[in-house]
Amino acid sequence: MSKATKKAAPAAHPEIKPGQSIELLKALHILTRDGALNQDSRRKLKQVYHLTQFIEPLIEQARAANNGGLYLVDHGAGKSYLGFILYDLYIKQNPQGAVVAGVETRQDLTDKSQTLAEHLGFAAGMQFINLPVAQATEHPDLPETVDIVTALHACNTATDDAIAFGLKKQARYMALVPCCQAEVASKLRETKSLMLGKTPLVELWRHPIHTREFGSQLTNVLRCLQLEAHGYRVTVTELVGWEHSMKNELIIAKKHQRGNRKAARQLHDMLDTLGLSLLKDRFFVPNFENTSESE
Ligand SMILES: C[S@@+](CC[C@H](N)C(=O)[O-])C[C@H]1O[C@@H](n2cnc3c(N)ncnc32)[C@H](O)[C@@H]1O
C-alpha cells in the first residue's frame, strides 16, 4: 500500500457522516488541511452535531409541511458555519426549494461565505445578506414568510431583533442560543434607586455583579414569555459541550397557536413589577383586543 493510501482517508473518521463535505470541514477548520481530526476539532464537531441535532427535525417538519420547500434564516451568521453545516448535512442531497440564508453585518464575512458556497457548489441554495438583523425584515431579497429562524450567539440585542424578524415573518420554528444582552441590565441599573424601598425584589439586582447576571437571565425569561405570548411553545435547555462560551442556553420555539394572552399579561406584569415598563416596546406582545386567544 502506498504512503498516500495508507494515510487515513478523512471519511474514515467515525465522527464524519457519510457524504459530508471534507472541503467544508477543512474550510471551517474542523479538519486540518491534510484531513486530520485532532482532539480539539473532534470536540468542536461534537458541539456542532449537538446543536444541529435539534435543528434537523425542525427542517424535516418544515419541509414536510411545505411541499419540500424551506426558508431558514440564520442571524448574526458570522462565518456562516451553522448554515453551511446544516446545508451540507440535511439539504444538499435534496436541495430543491430550500434556501439557507445568513444575515451578518460584516461584509468581509458575507463575501467569504459567498465564495465558499460557490466553491462547494452550494450557492444556488445559500444566500448571504450583509445587513444588521434589525433591517432584515424589510429586505427585498427575503420572503414575506420564513420557516425557521436561528441565531447562534448573535451579539447583544441581535437575538431580540432575530425574534422580531421571526415574529414578523411568521416563522414556524426558532432556535436561539443568545449572547450577552446589555439592554435589560442597563435599564435595571437606571431604575435601581427608584425601585429601592418599593419592592424587596430589588435585592435580586442591588449589587453590580447581580445586576449583570440577573439582567442576563431576565432577558432570556422575557424572550421566552414574548415567544409564548405570540403563540410559540418554548423549551429551554443547555447546549452541553459548548465549553468555549459561557452562554449555553438553547431556546427552541415552535409555533402552535395564534397567541397566548396569559403569557402576554405575565410578561407585562413582570416588566411593571421590576420597574422596566419602558422595555414593553422591545418585548412587544400581540394586540389581543377583540380576540379570544388562549388564556
Ligand atoms: C459571536 S459571533 C457568532 C457568529 C456565528 N453565529 C457563530 O456562532 O459562529 C456574532 C456575529 O454576529 C454579528 N452581528 C452582531 N450584531 C449583529 C447585527 N445586529 N446584525 C447582524 N449581525 C450582527 C457579528 O458581526 C458576528 O459575526
Distance 257 CA to ligand 1 centre (A): 30
Q: What average pLDDT does this structure show over 42-67?
A: 92
pLDDT of 126 over the 70 cut:
yes
pLDDT digits (tens, 9 = 90+) for 145-179: 999 999 999 999 999 999 999 999 999 999 999 98
pLDDT digits (tens, 9 = 90+) for 179-215: 888 999 999 999 999 999 899 999 999 999 999 999 9
Q: Is the CB of 81 under 6 A from ligand 1?
A: yes
The ligand 1 atom at the shortest distance from the C-alpha of residue 106 is: 25
pLDDT digits (tens, 9 = 90+) for 3-42: 443 443 445 688 888 899 999 999 998 888 888 888 888 8
Please tell me the predicted confidence (pLDDT) of residue 243. 57
**Residues belonging to the chain:** 295
Q: Which of 28, 149, 153, 248 to mutate for ligand 1's pocket (most ligand atoms within 8 Å of CB)?
A: 153
pTM of the model: 0.92
pLDDT of 291 over the 90 cut:
no
Please tell me the predicted confidence (pLDDT) of residue 179. 87
The band of 2, judged by pLDDT with boundaries at 50, 70 and 90, is: very low
Distance 175 CA to ligand 1 centre (A): 15
Please tell me the predicted confidence (pLDDT) of residue 293. 59
The ligand 1 atom at the shortest distance from the C-alpha of residue 103 is: 21
- How many percent of the chain have pLDDT more than 70? 92
Q: Is the CB of 266 under 6 A from ligand 1?
A: no
Distance 144 CA to ligand 1 centre (A): 23
